[in-house]
Structure 1
Amino acid sequence: MKHNNEIPGSHSRKHWQNNVKTWFNQPARKTRRRVARQEKAVKIFPRPTSGPIRSVVHAQTLKYNMKVKAGKGFTLEELKAAGIAKKLAPTIGISVDHRRKNRSLEGLQSNAGDSTLQELANATQVQGDYMPIAREKVAMEVVKVTADMKAFKAYDN
């Protein structure tokens, strides 16, 4: 059977096996995919396994512009600030977006920052999510509710 159709009832008699798709190879396929992922990770070492490293950008529009997310790639200006040639970047697992423009110094600095010598010495191949984008939490100020606050009537005329 194919698609999201009703399974036919009592008419399946002589050649019903032709109408049924079995998934007995599912566990073997899972193993094959896992082994293929591991082989690819060895082959592309030291590049990250989950695709090239992407820049951190802010979402568009007034509603979402405080949200940071992974962009398409680094600008040519960011690559220049980091000292990486634009032709070399894709070969070492860094994505490039030649259309993006840096509209603020903060955005440029966040994407063109350099690693410390200790971080470079401890660097390993990234397996899984590369450089998770951390959103800054806004600090909320806790205030004790006083009797004046409770007595205040905002809607009285």
Structure 2
Amino acid sequence: MPAKGNQVIPNTHFHKDWQKRVKVWFARPMKAQKRRRTRLLKAAAIAPRPLKKLKPIVRCPGYRHNIRQRLGKGFTFLECKEAGLNYRYARTIGIYVDKKRKNKSVEGLQLNVQRLKEYMSKLVVFPKNGKMKNTKEQNAELKKEKANAVQLRGEIMPIPKVDKNEVEVMEITDDMKNYQAYHALRQARAKKRWHGKRLKKIADAAANDLAKK
């Protein structure tokens, strides 16, 4: 835009320093193909071992999202112990272990213990070197089983999806109609607020009775 009046002549720099300041993304398609080839090579190298490991089921943090379940980082030491597993051995058979996570509820602990037991019931472990210290027939049978094994590439034991469209229907009784929820909540809050003072009042009255006697 030309200058208007007695002002500074615009001196814009349109010659960019391409080597330093300009970054292009022409190699993105080839990079994507390279990553895909790397994933395929890794899958072939670890076959028939699954590509992913087993993760626990945890609840999202906070009051707002606590109703939702998701996959966690790893199982706790207590969950492995309750399932009859050593956590060091669990890491070698495709199970994530998290030393920082703590169990906050019995329901969550039982859910993940049952998840570990179900995984162990379906698990097939092959020798690491592919050989057994037995007969040649057993070694040949082992190689045949390993060759016929199918590699799992998806999520291991995903969280079952719940149909949100299902609605539970029930008959509304007279007790439900007459129940005053707001009054019950106010009474519960009041009892919690005055619980300590009421206990102290009862204790003081008992101490005065003993003193009079």
**Structure 1 partner of 2:14:** 11
Q: Return 5+ residue gaps in structure 2 as ranges.
A: 1-11, 125-148, 171-213
Q: Which residue of 2 aligns with 1:35?
A: 37
For 1:100 and 1:115, the matched residues in 2 are separated by 21
Q: Which residue of 2 aligns with 1:128?
A: 154
Shift of 1:66: 1.3
Provide closer, same or farther for how the CA distance between residues 115 and 127 of structure 1 changes in structure 2, counting only shifts above 3 A. Answer: same
Map of 2:105 onto structure 1: 104
What does residue range 56-67 of structure 1 map to in structure 2 within 5 Å?
56-67=57-68
CA distance in 2, matches of 1:46, 1:77: 29
1:70 shift after superposition: 1.2
Identity across matched positions, percent:
38
SS in 1 for 2:75: coil
More helix by share: 2
Equivalent residues of 1:58, 1:65 under 8 A apart: yes
Q: For residues 97 and 163 of structure 2, what CA distance do their matches in structure 1 show?
A: 29
Q: CA deviation at 1:125?
A: 3.2
Tell me the amino acid that sits aligned with residue 55 of structure 2: R
User: Which residue does 2:118 correspond to in 1?
Assistant: 115
The 1:87/1:141 distance shift into structure 2, 3 A limit, reads closer
1:25-53 C-alpha deviation (Å, 9 max, x unpaired): 33332221111111112233344424x32
Shift in Å, 1:104: 3.2
Cα 1:43/1:141, change in 2 over 3 Å: same
Per the TM alignment, residue 109 of structure 1 is displaced from its structure 2 partner at its CA by: 2.4
Instruction: Quote the offset at 1:78 in angstroms.
Output: 1.5
Instruction: Determine helix, strand or coil for the equivalent of 2:64.
Output: helix
Q: CA RMSD in A?
A: 3.4
Partner of 1:45: 47
Structure 2 counterpart of 1:90: 91
TM-score norm. by structure 2 comes to: 0.48
Query: 1:65-112: CA deviations, max 9, x gaps?
Result: 211111121111221233322112222221112233333333222212
Q: Structure 1 residues 109, 47: closer, same or farther in 2, change over 3 A?
A: farther
CA contact 1:55–1:74 (8 Å) conserved in 2: yes
| Greater relative contact order (CA < 8 Å, ≥ 6 in sequence) | 1
From the CA coordinates, give the structure whose radius of gyration is larger. 2
Normalising by structure 1, report the TM-score: 0.62
Runs of 4 or more off by more than 6 Å in structure 1?
none
- Measure the CA separation in 2 of the matches of 1:117 and 1:90: 13
Q: Which amino acid aligns with 1:32?
A: K
Q: Which residue of 1 aligns with 2:202?
A: none
List runs of 5+ in structure 1 lacking aligned partners. Answer: 1-8, 144-157
Determine helix, strand or coil for the equivalent of 1:80. Answer: helix
Deviations 1:118-140 (A, max 9, x none): 8457x843313333223534641
Taking the aligned partners of 1:128 and 1:36, their CA distance within structure 2 comes to 17
Equivalent position amino acid for 1:101 in 2: K
Tell me the number of residue pairs that the alignment of Structure 1 and Structure 2 aligns: 131
